[in-house]
Amino acid sequence: MQASVVEADKLTLLTQYAGLIDFSTINQLRHILNNLAPAEIAHHIESAPPKIRRILWELVDDDLDGEVLGELSEGLRDEFLRGMDSAELAAAMEGLDADDVVDLLQQLPDRVIPRVLQAMDEQNRLRVEHILRYAEDTAGGLMNTDTITVRPDLSLDVILRYLRRHEELPRATDALFVVNRKDTFLGILPIAKLLTSNPNLTVREVMVTDVQPIPATMPDTEVAQRFERNDWITAPVVDADNKLLGRITIDDVVDVIIDEADHSLLGLAGLSDEEETFTSVRRSAPRRAFWLGINLFTALVASSVVGLFEATLQQVVALAILMPIVASMGGIAGSQTLTVVVRGMALGHVNRNNLRWLFNKEFLIGALNAMLWALVIGGIASFWFQDYHLGLIIAAAMMINLVTAAVVGTLLPVSLKAIRIDPALAGSVVLTTFTDVVGFFSFLGLATLFYR
């Protein structure tokens, strides 16, 4: 009965867009789509325009809904989740890992989550509630509870017989976690050691004890850095008392790395994390308008600086021609420094101990480039306008602005982070304002002093 209702709903939806997809191809399309891996299905949905996306989503088999949702981008996933009731959500999440279920639940309104949890079976509900206690961007929110634990006093032969009783091991299992009777984490037993060691040995004799577990409250970006440094496939997660809570797998860490890279890339352009190729005009326009408004305000600030030197510009028309060059070069130089520093901060490379060295390095690079390009533009301006004084003025302004760009590009992201403002999102707008204001003021100010 329920399946027929769903099919009727699909048919109703398809009739609304009959001109987009030929009805004769619907069954073939459904067959092709549902024989793909969930990640491939999600890719095809995301690659389609909005109206076609909805049709493709309705063609996905019910037993694949949860896995496909887990592979979709956050914005598109949220759109599909809003169209599902609690029973449909619970059915879609059946069979998913607890951490994937939590990822989906965190996209729902708070009032809906209890209803979805109530529709789940008790074992899965307890696992999900255990993870929901932790913030989404922490190790606890990232972990899964599908761990296999062993005691240190058992022999390897007993462990092997115990594992054979399982139909399958949790995915990405490269080690078993060793705990005592109070579930305190003691170390790991790598699968490779289990298979190659004498089966009469005990776990305690072959276990690895120098593994540092991950605290449940650790930020997910720091978790990703630890995985990268240690080449981990899985890692144990513990609470404040060192009790084992679960594990984090490399596939979840890859998602964190991709999300952080997307955030940095889109943030430098003043775009939201939810921005994607086929986001609708209704959703994209307001998000972009906000940062365009901020940029307009900063541009007005820079223009007001130019207005202070209106009389000078009227006397020397060449200044108006050369003025954008100084600001543009400063903006590019500052963006280069800002990108390097923001990336270093995202990777955890920048801290109080090396900030001075980083500042000196960027300052020196800025000074060297300033001298080089000051000579170049000074020579060009002198030859172009047959006025070597003008060449000296623009050369001096170029040096001032490029050095300023290096200083601001280094210190700005650190300062923004200290006051809890995302440097990837706000850094480029603030930096552009600095370089424009300093570039215009130094160039026109020096020209005013000279030509006066």
Give 446's contacts (C-beta < 8 A, 6+ positions apart): 393, 396, 397
Structure tokens at 75: 């914005």
CB 6 within 8 Å of CB 40: no
Strand partners for 190: 175
Q: Which residue has the tokens 């240190």?
A: 152
Lowest mean pLDDT, pick from 78-82, 260-264, 373-377: 260-264
Structure tokens at 110: 């708070």
Q: Using pLDDT thresholds of 50, 70 and 90, give the confidence band for residue 204.
A: very high
Percent of the chain's residues with pLDDT above 70: 83
Rounded CA gap, 235 and 223, in Å?
Answer: 9
Is residue 56 scored above 70 in pLDDT? yes
Q: Which position has the higher pLDDT, 67 or 290?
A: 67
Q: Using pLDDT thresholds of 50, 70 and 90, give the confidence band for residue 21.
A: low
Structure tokens at 152: 């240190």
Q: Which helix (H) or strand (E) holds 245?
A: strand 244-249
Q: Using pLDDT thresholds of 50, 70 and 90, give the confidence band for residue 15.
A: very low
Rounded CA gap, 429 and 306, in Å?
Answer: 19
100-130 residue pLDDT tens: 777 777 766 666 677 777 766 666 677 777 7
In single-letter form, the type of residue at position 42 comes to A
CB 204 within 8 Å of CB 193: no
Rounded CA gap, 160 and 238, in Å?
Answer: 25
Strand partners for 247: 144, 236
Q: Where are the domains of the chain?
A: 2-142, 149-249, 281-451
CB 283 within 8 Å of CB 79: no
Rounded CA gap, 139 and 220, in Å?
Answer: 6
Fold of the CATH domain 281-451: Tetracycline Repressor; domain 2 (1.10.357)
Question: What's the CATH class of domain 149-249?
Answer: alpha beta
Rounded CA gap, 357 and 407, in Å?
Answer: 13
Query: Closest Cα partner for 355 from 407, 410, 406?
Result: 410
Q: Where are the beta strands (DSSP E) in 133-222?
A: 149-150, 175-179, 185-190, 214-215
Alpha-carbon distance values, 192 to 91, 197, 423 (Å): 37, 8, 43
Is residue 5 scored above 60 in pLDDT? no
pLDDT winner (highest mean) among 264-273, 280-289, 324-333, 421-430: 324-333
Which spans in 110-241 are helix H?
113-118, 122-132, 139-142, 156-164, 191-196, 203-206, 220-230
Q: Using pLDDT thresholds of 50, 70 and 90, give the confidence band for residue 216.
A: very high
Query: Closest Cα partner for 82 from 47, 54, 55?
Result: 54
In single-letter form, the type of residue at position 360 comes to N
165-187 residue pLDDT tens: 888 888 888 999 999 988 899 99
Structure tokens at 267: 């943030």
Name the strands in the sheet holding 149-150, side by side, starting at the edge strand that comes first in the sequence: 149-150, 175-179, 185-190
341-364 residue pLDDT tens: 887 887 777 888 888 999 999 999
425-444 residue pLDDT tens: 777 888 888 899 999 999 99
315-337 residue pLDDT tens: 778 888 888 899 889 988 988 89
120-167 residue pLDDT tens: 666 667 777 777 788 888 998 888 888 889 999 999 999 999 888 888
Burial (0-12, 13-18, 19+ Cβ within 10 Å), 202: middle
Name the strands in the sheet holding 234-238, side by side, starting at the edge strand that comes first in the sequence: 214-215, 234-238, 244-249
Query: Closest Cα partner for 408 from 295, 330, 293, 302?
Result: 330
Give the CATH number of domain 2-142; options: 3.30.70.100, 3.40.50.300, 1.25.60.10, 2.60.40.10: 1.25.60.10
DSSP structure class, residue 420: T
**Helix, strand, or coil (residue 256):** helix
